[in-house]
Amino acid sequence: MSNFEVPGVFAAVVAGSFLKHVGLRLTRNRNVKEYVGTVSQINVYPLKSAKNLQNVTTANITTQGLICDGVGDRHWMVTRKGHYQNMSAFQRLILIQTTKEGSFFRLDAEGMEPLRLPLDPEVTGDNLVEVKVKFVPQRAVDCGDAAAQWISTFLKKEGLRLNYSPPSLSKRFSTDVPKEWTTDAKPGEEVAFQDFAHCMIMCDSSVEELSKRVQRNVPAIQFRPNVLVSGTTPFDEDTWKYVFIGKHIKMRFIDDCQRCIITTIDTINAEKDKQGQPLKTLKTFRCKEPFGPMKPVMGIHTNTEKEGTVNVGDPVVQYL
């Protein structure tokens, strides 16, 4: 081989290596990155088991859940003797409308005067209490006697209190919530009054498929998703392990969302469906191990790995 032939051979080797590297990289990207749809709806539920804020088109997804204009998702909660109360105990909770009004958090319900609470009340020795959610204790602010009387009157039960979880107080850890199976929650991941996770994601097509099987329209809001995604196949969310939303947000799957009797409560009149729908139908095709025949799944629980702003219309990408 002459001296003039060596550079040509070397160039060919380099070019071949480069193309191989690029090819492997593109193949790897095709294997792990997939556009799955767009954000169609954002829901923030400030008071646990009450109505969502209306007309939300943007919110921040944080390491404490969704926050919309200073109002946090499930940062207020009704308690009785320190234990959390939800729709399974008080169906009328779903009739309470939540609104931000200036520097106040406002509750409205039929037959009641509006209740206005400071968005972020001062934490003092007098209002600091311990509450329990899913048997796990955490500190919270008691919102006072007037708020307690308002809640007790509307829910027709004496002895109820209204509590708030301010940003300055430590939260529960997802890993402390008792489960009979292993989840993908990581140590140090905190939740306010959410059951378990920062954000519940569900697909529009999943709700549509369920509606076909029930043979009537099932409102997505009965499943209380935080983020709804359009443009997918039914139950596509089952396979998502890492979810990127918009430019910055990164969410990580930590568990399937097991469904209960709350899904049978009508969000308009607070009445349970007499046939137990749509839960009855879910049990016929959405049960899997290790949850058993009484806990069908729909939607996924996710925790936040990278915070950011979510908007209706944002692209959703999954990484396997």
- Convert the pLDDT of each residue in 258-291 to its tens digit: 999 999 999 999 999 999 999 999 999 999 999 9
Contacts of 199 (CB under 8 A, 6+ apart): 61, 65, 66, 226, 227, 251, 301, 302, 303, 304
Name the helix (H) or strand (E) containing 214: helix 204-214
Whole-number pLDDT of residue 268: 96
Contacts of 118 (CB under 8 A, 6+ apart): 103, 104, 105
**Residue in 44, 72, 305 with CA at minimum distance from that of residue 189:** 305
**Residue in 219, 211, 296 with CA at minimum distance from that of residue 260:** 296
> Residue 41 pLDDT more than 90?
yes
> Residue 12 pLDDT more than 50?
no
% of the chain residues with pLDDT over 70: 90
Does the reported pTM lie above 0.85? Answer: yes
Whole-number pLDDT of residue 152: 98
Backbone angles phi, psi at 11, to 5 degrees: -65, -40
Whole-number pLDDT of residue 23: 40
Pairing label, strands 227-230, 199-203: parallel
Give the separation between CA 58 and CA 313, rounded to whole angstroms. Answer: 10
Whole-number pLDDT of residue 8: 46
**Residue in 224, 219, 203, 206 with CA at minimum distance from that of residue 282:** 206
> Residue 11 pLDDT more than 80?
no
Whole-number pLDDT of residue 25: 42
For 2, other C-beta atoms within 10 Å of its C-beta total 5
Q: Quote the mean pLDDT of the chain.
A: 91
Q: For residues 19 and 172, which has the higher predicted lDDT (pLDDT)?
A: 172
Side chain identity at residue 16, one-letter code: G
Whole-number pLDDT of residue 1: 43
**Residue in 258, 256, 148, 266 with CA at minimum distance from that of residue 217:** 266
Q: Tell me the pLDDT tens digit for each residue of 117-161.
A: 999 899 998 999 999 999 999 999 999 999 999 999 999 999 999
Whole-number pLDDT of residue 2: 39
**Residue in 60, 50, 51 with CA at minimum distance from that of residue 84:** 50
pLDDT band at 28 (very low <50, low <70, confident <90, very high): very low
> Residue 17 pLDDT more than 60?
no
pLDDT band at 319 (very low <50, low <70, confident <90, very high): confident
pLDDT band at 33 (very low <50, low <70, confident <90, very high): confident
**Cβ pair 79, 160 in contact under 8 A:** yes
Give the separation between CA 186 and CA 304, rounded to whole angstroms. Answer: 11
- Average pLDDT (220-249) is 97
% of the chain residues with pLDDT over 90: 87
Q: Tell me the pLDDT tens digit for each residue of 202-231.
A: 999 999 999 999 999 999 999 999 999 999
Give the separation between CA 82 and CA 137, rounded to whole angstroms. Answer: 9
Beta bridge partner(s), residue 203: 229
> Residue 21 pLDDT more than 50?
no
Whole-number pLDDT of residue 58: 98
> Residue 188 pLDDT more than 50?
yes
Tokens matching residue 69: 């204009």
Whole-number pLDDT of residue 31: 53
- Average pLDDT (15-23) is 39
**Residue in 176, 96, 91 with CA at minimum distance from that of residue 132:** 176
Q: Which runs of E-coded beta strand occur in 49-189?
A: 58-62, 65-68, 71-72, 76-80, 83-85, 97-101, 104-108, 115-118, 128-133, 136-142, 160-164, 172-173
